[in-house]
């Protein structure tokens, strides 16, 4: 099972480790004027990360301006507004400074700003995207990640939401790898516990899904095992004490490995179903959406997969040394969720209603047939609805 081949173009230069933001000014820059993309929240400014980044860019001889219009689950309109600001200000590269939403949006802006007279959805997949190839090279971009979740600093797609079509799908281009990524766990010390948990479980699930996908291969197994082990050793510690730099380093490492996993294999239907949830409910954080469905989804997969030993492996990677049954993975997952106080999230808290389950299942299957195609155990629409119903409270 799985494959004995892989493609890996990990072309992003990664500076990993505490304090590495201070090295930005010493790096060769891909342009003369940067658009620094940050979130619409206050934290990037309040924590001093924006000032520090702009000072480092100035030290490297680069001018910079700021676009601060990216929200959670970044919207098509935010990417379009950012791309316009890049063009209007004559910027020749992008620096995305923030969490996964900012990195995904900044990455999509770097591509879209270079394609005049187009619509972002010309380059999207999913249900209504036109799947066109960009005709011009993307602008270069630099990733500075302030959270441990998406691994977006080393992959070449951004996930963007289109509220007009209820789609939340990937937009990318083959040249959209960041030129440089800074993964500095010191920048993650200020992430509040609740978001440390949401993002940490997202990082875990990228590698869990990669590990059980039918595309798994020797290289992805190495990366995914490393990520899952680091989550097992570090997530609860980072949740309980956000100032634990060693735990933050472990989660940052797991996060970047998860990004590599998406290049070597792919997420499967768990992510496709979550994207349908947050496409219908934009204020649902991605990690929370995954946590809502993960026990029911994992139980279905652990019971039906033709490779049950992979679920036993993952329970061991997460710290259950005596694991012997695929459901031990679900039990260990449940323990971690309780330890991070995210075992009792409720769909109804985000306004999700049962009558949406049919349309959500259809949306997930239509937007992501490629992810369902590589599931360990195939899922029908009825199976997806059953997982959603079992997850409801
Ligand atoms: Zn994710």
Class of domain 192-391: mainly alpha
For ligand 1, the distance from its centroid to the CA atom of residue 287, given in whole angstroms, is 7
Which residues partner with 96 through β-bridges? 37, 143
Q: What mean pLDDT comes out for the span 353-375?
A: 97
For ligand 1, the distance from its centroid to the CA atom of residue 309, given in whole angstroms, is 24
For ligand 1, the distance from its centroid to the CA atom of residue 294, given in whole angstroms, is 12
What are the CA-CA distances from residue 278 to residues 132, 217, 269, 383 (Å)? 25, 30, 14, 19
Task: Give Cβ neighbours of residue 17 (< 8 Å, ≥ 6 apart).
Answer: 183, 184, 185, 249
Enclosing H/E stretch for 167: strand 167-172
For ligand 1, the distance from its centroid to the CA atom of residue 272, given in whole angstroms, is 10
Q: What is the DSSP pairing of strand 33-39 with strand 63-70?
A: parallel
Q: What is the pTM of this model?
A: 0.96
The answer to whether the beta carbons of residues 238 and 250 sit under 8 Å apart is yes
Q: For 70-81, write each residue's pLDDT tens digit.
A: 998 899 999 999
* Average pLDDT score over the chain: 96
Q: What mean pLDDT comes out for the span 46-50?
A: 97
For ligand 1, the distance from its centroid to the CA atom of residue 33, given in whole angstroms, is 31
37 vs 172, more confident? 37
For ligand 1, the distance from its centroid to the CA atom of residue 63, given in whole angstroms, is 33
pLDDT band at 145 (very low <50, low <70, confident <90, very high): very high
For ligand 1, the distance from its centroid to the CA atom of residue 26, given in whole angstroms, is 32
Using alpha carbons, select from 185, 105, 95, 109 the residue that is nearest to residue 149: 185
For ligand 1, the distance from its centroid to the CA atom of residue 270, given in whole angstroms, is 9
For ligand 1, the distance from its centroid to the CA atom of residue 88, given in whole angstroms, is 32
Count of residues in the chain: 393
For ligand 1, the distance from its centroid to the CA atom of residue 293, given in whole angstroms, is 13
For ligand 1, the distance from its centroid to the CA atom of residue 206, given in whole angstroms, is 6
Q: What is the reported pLDDT for 176?
A: 95
Residues 364 and 176: their CA atoms lie apart, in Å, by: 25
For ligand 1, the distance from its centroid to the CA atom of residue 198, given in whole angstroms, is 10
pLDDT at 1 over 80: no
For ligand 1, the distance from its centroid to the CA atom of residue 56, given in whole angstroms, is 30
Percentage of residues in the chain having pLDDT higher than 70: 100
For ligand 1, the distance from its centroid to the CA atom of residue 153, given in whole angstroms, is 13
For ligand 1, the distance from its centroid to the CA atom of residue 202, given in whole angstroms, is 5
For ligand 1, the distance from its centroid to the CA atom of residue 64, given in whole angstroms, is 30
Q: What mean pLDDT comes out for the span 4-21?
A: 94
Fold type of domain 13-187: Rossmann fold (3.40.50)
Q: Hey, where are the domains in the chain?
A: 13-187, 192-391
Q: Which of 157-161, 233-237, 244-248, 343-347 has the lowest mean pLDDT?
A: 157-161
Q: What is the reported pLDDT for 308?
A: 98
Using alpha carbons, select from 290, 269, 252 the residue that is nearest to residue 212: 269
For ligand 1, the distance from its centroid to the CA atom of residue 274, given in whole angstroms, is 9
Q: What is the reported pLDDT for 125?
A: 87
């Amino acid at each position: 099972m799985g494959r004995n081949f892989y493609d890996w173009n990990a072309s992003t230069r990664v500076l990993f480790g505490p304090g590495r933001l201070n090295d930005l000014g010493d790096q060769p820059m891909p342009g003369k004027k940067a658009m620094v993309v940050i979130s619409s929240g206050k934290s990037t400014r309040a924590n001093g990360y924006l000032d520090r980044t702009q000072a480092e860019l100035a030290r490297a001889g680069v001018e910079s301006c700021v676009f601060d219009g990216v929200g959670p689950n970044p919207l098509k309109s935010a990417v379009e507004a950012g791309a316009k600001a890049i063009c209007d200000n004559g910027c020749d590269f992008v620096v995305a400074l923030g969490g996964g939403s900012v990195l995904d949006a900044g990455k999509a802006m770097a591509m879209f700003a270079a394609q005049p007279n187009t619509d972002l959805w010309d380059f999207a997949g999913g249900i209504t995207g036109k799947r066109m190839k960009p005709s011009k090279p993307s602008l270069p971009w630099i990733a500075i990640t302030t959270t441990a979740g998406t691994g977006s600093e080393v992959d070449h797609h951004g996930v963007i939401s289109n509220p007009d079509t209820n789609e939340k799908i990937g937009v990318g281009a083959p040249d959209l790898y960041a030129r440089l990524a800074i993964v500095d766990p010191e920048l993650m010390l200020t992430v509040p516990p609740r978001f440390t948990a949401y993002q940490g479980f997202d990082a875990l699930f990228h590698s869990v899904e990669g590990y059980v996908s039918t595309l798994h291969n020797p290289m992805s197994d190495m990366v995914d095992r490393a990520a899952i082990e680091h989550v097992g050793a570090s997530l609860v510690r980072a949740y309980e004490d956000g100032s634990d730099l060693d735990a933050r380093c472990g989660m940052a490492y797991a996060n970047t490995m998860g990004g590599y996993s998406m290049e070597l294999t792919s997420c499967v239907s768990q992510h496709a179903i979550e994207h349908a949830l947050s496409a219908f409910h934009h204020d649902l954080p991605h990690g929370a959406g995954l946590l809502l469905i993960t026990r029911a989804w994992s139980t279905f997969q652990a019971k039906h997969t033709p490779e049950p030993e992979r679920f036993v492996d993952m329970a061991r990677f997460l710290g259950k040394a005596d694991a012997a049954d695929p459901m031990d993975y679900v039990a260990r997952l449940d323990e971690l969720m309780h330890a991070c106080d995210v075992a009792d999230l409720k769909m109804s808290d985000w306004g999700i209603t049962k009558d949406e389950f049919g349309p959500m299942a259809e949306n997930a299957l239509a937007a992501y047939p490629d992810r369902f195609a590589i599931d360990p155990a195939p899922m029908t629409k009825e199976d997806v609805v059953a997982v959603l119903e079992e997850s409801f409270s």
